Amino acid sequence: MIVVNYHDDLNEVQGDPVLVALLSAPHARTPFDRTEWWRNLADNCKLQPLVAVAGDGVERAVLPLMRDGQRLSGLANWYTFRLAPLATPGADRPALFAALARNLARKTRRVTLDKLGDEDAALIANAFRDAGWTVWQEQCDVNHCLEVGGRSFAQYLSARPGSLRTTLKRKAAKLDLTLYDSFDADAWAAYEAVYAASWKPQEGSPAFLRRFAAEEGAAGRLRMAVGHIDGQPVAAQFWTVEHGTAFIHKLAHRDDARQFSPGTVLSAALFEQVIDRDKVDWIDFGTGDDAYKRDWMELVRPRFRLDMIRPRHPKNWPLIARHALRSLRGQR
């Protein structure tokens, strides 16, 4: 018998040892699937979790949701690379998520999920359709990534664009570079100073990032680099590594140091670290189709949005009409 529960207090998860194992290392294979990530989003980004859990014996399926006005959305924001439905190994995923979808009809009239991979989007779309929801799916973003394929850093670098390799030859020696695999308060202060002087917009939640970096450093998953010129920090990057994947979370350089290409030099140093020493299989550059990512990455994966609504709810009828109109325009 499948039982569905909801948790708006993430401390409640600690009462279920099966959930604790599912939502923590080593089972959770990315930062975005862990209770610590969700708790940080709640504490420092002011999101309101509502984690939906379907259980059948020792099997669990989890859909990380949050309250979002009159609907439920995926428990994620701009720091999240991708959202995923989670389940214990060997669980009957279609049955468990279909049960969640049926039960969610009692909670809300609309569920919107962003940043889903193709297989996860198909799983959730089918579960909600089977439960009587109307589902619209569209691509909302892309994910640039690299499959290392057993190459060394030198082999990987030889396949990069000639302009990038030339830049490294000309500029690498001009930068004093320090790598970190544990959290260092001075290095983090340097990162924040560089980011503030960069071309990037104001950071959404500095407290979120600092806490995440400190937690990853304590767990041995942090990979960070800071570059100096004449003693001044001019570039910084923040990566993490786990389960054979390196995640590139943040990178920035000072506008007034652009002529030294410090971002390119730091990227190369961290690529060498994760490929030759951490021996990762994949490198994930997150979402966004920034042109510079194409110099480093070789694959592009789509990310999808699902908008799922209860078709018999009168307040959804204008939304159904708008979706139908958009679909008709897209077919012309």
CATH of the domain at 46: 3.40.630
pLDDT score for 288: 94
- Answer yes or no: do 218 and 320 share one domain: no
Q: Which CB contacts under 8 angstroms, 24+ apart, belong to 182-190?
A: 182/217, 182/218, 182/220, 182/222, 183/213, 183/214, 183/216, 183/217, 183/218, 183/222, 184/217, 184/224, 187/224, 187/226, 187/236, 188/213, 190/226, 190/233, 190/236
- Tokens (6 digits) for 103: 């039960």
Is residue 7 domain-shared with residue 133, that is, in the same domain? yes
**331 falls in which pLDDT band (50, 70, 90)?**
low
Does one domain contain both 133 and 31? yes
**DSSP-derived pairing of the beta strands 86-87 and 59-68:** antiparallel
The verdict on residue 288 lying in a domain is no
Start-to-end CA span in the chain (Å): 47
Task: Tell me which residue of 143, 163, 162, 175 sits closest to 269, measured CA to CA.
Answer: 175
**pLDDT-based confidence at residue 320 (cuts at 50, 70, 90):** confident
pLDDT band at 199 (very low <50, low <70, confident <90, very high): confident
pLDDT tens across 266-289, in order? 999 999 999 999 999 999 999 999
As given in the structure block, the two tokens for residue 88 are 């214990």
Quick check: 13 pLDDT over 70? yes
What SS3 string covers 101-158? HHHHCCCCCEEEEEEECHHHHHHHHHHHHHCCCEEEEEEEEEEEEEECCCCCHHHHHH
Determine the average pLDDT of the residues in 164-184: 95
What total number of domains does the chain contain?
Answer: 2
Q: Is residue 287 part of a domain?
A: no
pLDDT at 330 over 80: no
Work out the angle at residue 267's Cα, subtended by the Cα atoms of residues 36 and 197, and round it to the nearest 5 degrees. 80
Q: What pLDDT, in 10s, does the model give residues 39-84?
A: 999 999 999 999 999 999 999 999 999 999 999 999 999 999 999 9
pTM above 0.85, yes or no: yes
Distance of alpha carbon 29 from alpha carbon 86, whole angstroms? 11
Using CA atoms, how far apart are residues 58 and 95, in angstroms rounded to an integer?
A: 14
Residue 318 is predicted with a pLDDT of: 86
Predicted pLDDT at 317: 84
Q: Is the pLDDT of residue 173 over 60?
A: yes
Is residue 246 within 8 Å of residue 274, measured between CB atoms? Answer: yes
Domain presence at residue 210: yes
> Token pair 């942090």 is at which residue?
222
- Does a structural domain hold residue 291? no
pLDDT digits (tens, 9 = 90+) for 234-256: 999 999 999 999 999 999 999 99
In a domain, 286, yes or no: no
What does the pLDDT average to over 162-184?
Answer: 95
Confidence check: pLDDT of 295 > 70: yes
What pLDDT is attached to residue 178?
97
Q: Does pLDDT of 262 surpass 80? A: yes
Based on the domain organization, do 122 and 169 belong to the same domain?
no
Residues 136 and 153 in one domain: no
Residue 278, C-beta contacts closer than 8 angstroms, at least 6 positions apart: 223, 241, 246
The reply to whether 125 and 196 lie within a common domain is no
If you average pLDDT over every residue of the chain, what do you get?
95
One domain, residues 137 and 157: no
224/307 same-domain check: no
Q: For residues 89-95, give the mean pLDDT.
A: 96
Task: Tell me, yes or no, whether 317 and 247 share the same domain.
Answer: no
Domain span at residue 137 reads: 3-142+302-331
Residue 324 has pLDDT above 90, yes or no: no
Residue-wise pLDDT for 112-161, tens only, equals 999 999 999 999 999 999 999 999 999 999 999 999 999 999 999 999 99
pLDDT recorded at residue 5:
96
pLDDT band at 332 (very low <50, low <70, confident <90, very high): low
Q: What is the CATH number of the domain that holds 177?
A: 3.40.630.30
pLDDT of residue 319: 85
Average pLDDT over residues 293-314: 95
Structure tokens at 118: 């193709």
